[in-house]
Structure 1
Amino acid sequence: MRKIVILFAFVVVSAIAITYSSCSNDLNLAEEENAVAVIAETRAVEVPPCVDPCRDVQEVRLLAGQHYEAGKVYVVNNKEKLFVAYEATGDWKLKVLHLFVGACDKLPVNKQGNLVPGQFPYKVEFNELQNFYYFEIPLSSLPEGCVCVAAHAEVVKVVNGKIVQSETAFGEGVKTGKNWFMKFEYCIQECPPEEPPVDVCYKDETAWAAGSRYVAQGNWATYTPYVANTPINIYAGQSYLVGTVTFSPVVDGKVTITLAALNGAILQDVAESVKIQGYNTAPSGNPAPGLFTTYKGKETTIIVEAFAYYGIHLDVRRVVDCE
């Protein structure tokens, strides 16, 4: 048996070999599938990360023969589905499951008012005994508010590979009818509304890696001396911190330049938003980024020839207050 994580139960148990693919409705059935009856769109699947429950998990004991704790029943919902999981613990194993979830006045009962598990709409029978199974039920098929849950199981106790006890089990709740069969209430929680996306506004700016100015007056463009493994700030509009640049050690005459964004800044969506010019000696005079030859493009990790100085010019969009 394979191990899976029950996100809504926060435990790890053995499960039948059916996996849930991403957040789609596709099922990948392994050859050793053990479920022989899957009815009313009931599935045994691995809970995907996108379950995102709307409330805390409700947990009740799975009582066998009224007096023996054979495991747990877990219930939780997200904004689309309700999940009911059975977990057998200790020496107990699951053999057959019957589940009702719905309006309390729709519970299948006989003339004496006793529950009739064979008439429950969700059911599964296993070829091999199981430790875990769960059902997923669309909320669209359930009434709003609170529902009745009657979670029935046929369980067996296995010691040294032999069945030593067989019992009827129910999720613990209130007795229904004249026998001890039970139901419990679960209140479907509405998920809080999703927060609307926050508007982000940008301003296009020219940015340079910090260093010495090319010219003493006028143009504020700066060039940077090569120093390995030391992040150097990148400023837009001369004073707004929008990122860092880091030089790698020289390897075979090459240097890797890594650009990292800060404060929500992004590169402009143009073909050559990154322009780099290497210098063997300190440059002077106004730079012309459009004529830089060491690198022009839009990558953020760049391998270039090793130089003593670099002029690193970026076309960026920095975050500003929306008007």
Structure 2
Amino acid sequence: MKKKKFYILKWAILIALIVSAFTSCTKEEAPNFPKNESSTLKCATVDNEVECDLIAGQYINVGTVLYSDDGVNLEVQYVTSDGWSLSELHLYVGPEEGIPTNKKGNPVIGHFPYSEESLPDVTTSYTFTVPLGDDECYAVAAHAVVYDVHGNVETAWAKCEYKPIITLKTWLKDPDGSSGHSTFWAVSSGEPISTSDWCSIMGTNVYVKGDKYSLVSNCYSNPGSITVTDDGSNLKVTVKANDDLLLYRTYLFVGTKEQLAAYGICPNYPAFPYKIENVYSDTHVLEAPLPPTINNSISFQEAFGANSWGWFSQYCKN
């Protein structure tokens, strides 16, 4: 009798293991990421913040300028890098038509309403706090005078390029159909973000031109890759499956974190505006326009016909 019970128990355990193995690749569950630095999802946060490059001498990247707000005040933080320091700062926040310029359209930084011209030696960070009014959007022109350890002095301006949030989910299948549909997440070596709730925005990235992503799965060690490029107006997203796998469905989101949240805590991926469904192929290519919610910087030459270089940007409240 004991021997019979033992065989029944053994078969029950075996059946449970088989069922578990069969369903593990079809359930929507957090993937087991490989434990190596190059492919493990990195954690970061995306605040209500716009990060811009601080460009000196028209072409030298000497740091960043961060714009963020709490609905009441706009904070503008200058941060230098690579041995550069801040000497003078001039900041304009207001309507575009109010930017101080001369008859030639060149900005008159001495008339900018916020300035700091007596910074201590080797200052590498400084923050302005500017009260915001009732307007939703503002022109922001951030100027600096910077110097390096060799005594070289340059004028610098903040130049912003909008980097949208991008996330993608795709289903793959073995050519013989034996594995069923499986869910995959895109992971980048760029600036990925995640939350404590894995299904929320895992695999979401702040897009940087030329990003190269890897697909990660519970079922395959190297399922495929994603390449994202843009032509200044549209993103081109190319999803490529590896090892004779076939893509079946792909869903793409491009936009802001707030827009992504509208699809739910666990996003309703089929509702994403860019998709390919019921198409078996080793490659899916999707295109999406770059969202216009945050404008790239505009040159003073383009806006006012200036003969001097520099940029201003439009910042909208979060």
Instruction: Judge same fold: TM > 0.5, yes or no.
Output: no
Structure holding more helix per residue: 2
Bigger relative CO (Cα 8 Å, ≥ 6 apart): 2
Name the TM-score, length of structure 2 as normaliser: 0.40
Structure of greater Rg? 1
